[in-house]
Chain A
Amino acid sequence: TQLLEQSPQFLSIQEGENLTVYCNSSSVFSSLQWYRQEPGEGPVLLVTVVTGGEVKKLKRLTFQFGDARKDSSLHITAAQPGDTGLYLCAGDDAGNMLTFGGGTRLMVKP
């Protein structure tokens, strides 16, 4: 069973601060996805990273896939209250199967 561990589990910060969320595994994934989920809604795909060492930017969000394709990070610059939510990483085993991490619950206070 492939496991993905996310850290931290909870994060409460002030508007304008920077933060990094980590997603780690002992398994290699063909790709890794990051989702954001708001209360009462399903997860929404933010980005998919495929190549080891790949870095993708989505406005204030920067996603990095580890060289060995076992870990990933999400960095948010100048967080805003609208960034509040549950951030989930999910690893793809190349068989149309996603294994989700436990999630990081982010709260950005104005």
Chain B
Amino acid sequence: EAGVVQSPRYKIIEKKQPVAFWCNPISGHNTLYWYLQNLGQGPELLIRYENEEAVDDSQLPKDRFSAERLKGVDSTLKIQPAELGDSAVYLCASSLGGDRSQFFGPGTRLTVL
């Protein structure tokens, strides 16, 4: 069974440019999470989806960040415009229903110059 797939793995952009990350969760997993992880720290939740509905986006900086999961499967996280402080690893995770176990993708490492 394939794990959580993320692309791209690495992205380098200049500040003020837009960037998008894509995530395909494990087949059948209805809950999808986007996390931000700074170097040497634990992941911080940005947004959680139950199917296509965003049920917790309180930590998402909505002035520049947006996310969508239109068909309740794969998801896209966008930053526009990117700032220097957005440099981090963006992790996607998925879980199945009431199962608390989350499975993480390899992440996208974003560098904003």
**One of B40, B50, B101 near A33 (C-beta < 8 A):** B101
Interface class of chain A by DSSP:
strand
Q: Which of A11-19, A37-45, A63-71 contacts B (4 or more CB under 8 A)?
A: A37-45
> B8 → chain A, closest Cβ, in Å?
13
Q: In whole angstroms, how far apart are the Cα atoms of A101 and B4 in the complex?
A: 22
Q: Which of B12-20, B41-49, B68-76, B78-86 contacts A (4 or more CB under 8 A)?
A: B41-49
Q: In whole angstroms, how far apart are the Cα atoms of A103 and B39 in the complex?
A: 11
Asked whether A40 lies within 8 Å of B103 as measured between CB atoms, the reply is: no
Asked whether A102 lies within 8 Å of B41 as measured between CB atoms, the reply is: yes
Asked whether A42 lies within 8 Å of B107 as measured between CB atoms, the reply is: yes
Asked whether A45 lies within 8 Å of B42 as measured between CB atoms, the reply is: no
Shortest Cβ-Cβ A-B pairs, 5 listed: A42-B104, A100-B42, A92-B100, A43-B104, A103-B42
